[in-house]
């Protein structure tokens, strides 16, 4: 009698960490509520997934690269809301990410592109009618793994420090 193999999400023994290879933030620093009409703030992230998932990419490229971009108005900070990544859903799953302040006591009424934050990533994998989910989280802070500056015109831009890239994210 032949037995079917157990439902398995991964084709390898354990999941390797995801890697953030690029991260940038840009926008306006803290201002009054009167500045709510200002241009959009942006966060862009490039994440690599070296894992091979059973039945999904076992014959495809070894590393999947996903671009995630979130744009939001100055007076609508991104905290606690999920953003879908810009990749079109495919056999390799659907990525999304959520922002969290690193200090829960922080003022979250406005977002500053130079402040510290955490990102939680989710990968939803379609598999034979079943959906599997993997998550991972990383924190980012200025001078630790981010660097940047603000121009005289008031626009700030921060990015992942080259010497700490890529940032590894343990996968659950």
pLDDT > 50? residue 10: no
Confidence check: pLDDT of 30 > 80: no
Tell me the average pLDDT of the chain. Answer: 77
What pLDDT, on the 0 to 100 scale, is given for residue 93? 78
Q: What dihedral do alpha carbons 3, 7, 9, 15 form, nearest 10°?
A: -60
In a domain, 86, yes or no: yes
Residue 27 lies in a domain: yes
Contact 76, 40 (CB under 8 A): no
Per-residue model confidence (pLDDT) at position 107: 64
Q: Is residue 1 part of a domain?
A: no
Separation between Cα atoms, residue 146 and residue 143, nearest integer Å: 6
**For residue 5, what pLDDT is reported?**
38
Q: Is residue 3 part of a domain?
A: no
**What are the pLDDT digits (tens) for 55-106?**
555 555 567 888 898 888 777 777 888 888 865 555 567 889 998 887 766 6
Instruction: Take residue 84 and report the two structure tokens written for it.
Output: 């879908």
Which residues touch 60 (CB under 8 Å, ≥6 apart)? 91, 92
Confidence (pLDDT) at 17: 95
Distance CA 95, CA 9 (A): 16
For residue 96, give both structure tokens.
């999304």
C-alpha separations of 64 from 17, 50, 92, 115 in Å: 12, 6, 8, 29
* Residue 147, pLDDT score: 92
**Residue 7, in any domain of the structure:** no
Give domain status of residue 156, yes or no.
Answer: yes
pLDDT higher than 70, residue 149: yes
In terms of residue numbers, what domain contains 57?
18-169
pLDDT grade for 109, boundaries at 50, 70 and 90 = low
The DSSP result for the chain, as a single string, is: ---PPPP-SBSSSSPPPEEEEEEEEEE--S--GGGTTSPPEEEEEEEEE---BTTTSTTS-SSEEEEEEEEE-TTS--BT-EEE-SSPPBTTBEEEEEEEESSTTS--SS--TTS-EEEEEEEEEEETTEEEEEEEEEEE-BTTTEEEEE-TTS-EEEEE-GGGPSEEE---
10 domain-assigned? no
Domain assignment present for residue 11? The answer is no
Domain tally for the chain?
Answer: 1
Instruction: Name the more confident of 110 and 57.
Output: 110
């Amino acid at each position: 009698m032949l037995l079917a193999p157990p439902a398995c999400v991964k084709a390898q023994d354990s999941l390797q960490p995801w890697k953030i290879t690029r991260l940038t933030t840009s926008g306006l620093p803290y201002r009054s509520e009167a500045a709510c009409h200002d241009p959009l703030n942006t966060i862009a992230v490039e994440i690599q997934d070296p894992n091979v998932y059973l039945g999904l990419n076992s014959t495809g490229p070894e590393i999947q690269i996903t671009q995630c971009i979130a744009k939001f108005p100055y007076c609508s900070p991104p905290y606690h809301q999920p953003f879908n990544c810009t990749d079109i859903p495919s056999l390799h799953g659907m990525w999304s990410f959520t922002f969290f302040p690193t200090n829960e006591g922080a003022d979250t009424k406005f977002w500053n592109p130079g402040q510290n934050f955490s990102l939680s990533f989710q990968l939803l994998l379609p598999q034979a009618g079943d959906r599997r989910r993997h998550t991972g989280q990383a924190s980012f802070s200025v001078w630790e793994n981010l660097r940047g500056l603000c121009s005289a015109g008031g626009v700030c831009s921060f990015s992942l420090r080259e010497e700490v890239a890529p940032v590894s994210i343990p996968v659950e």
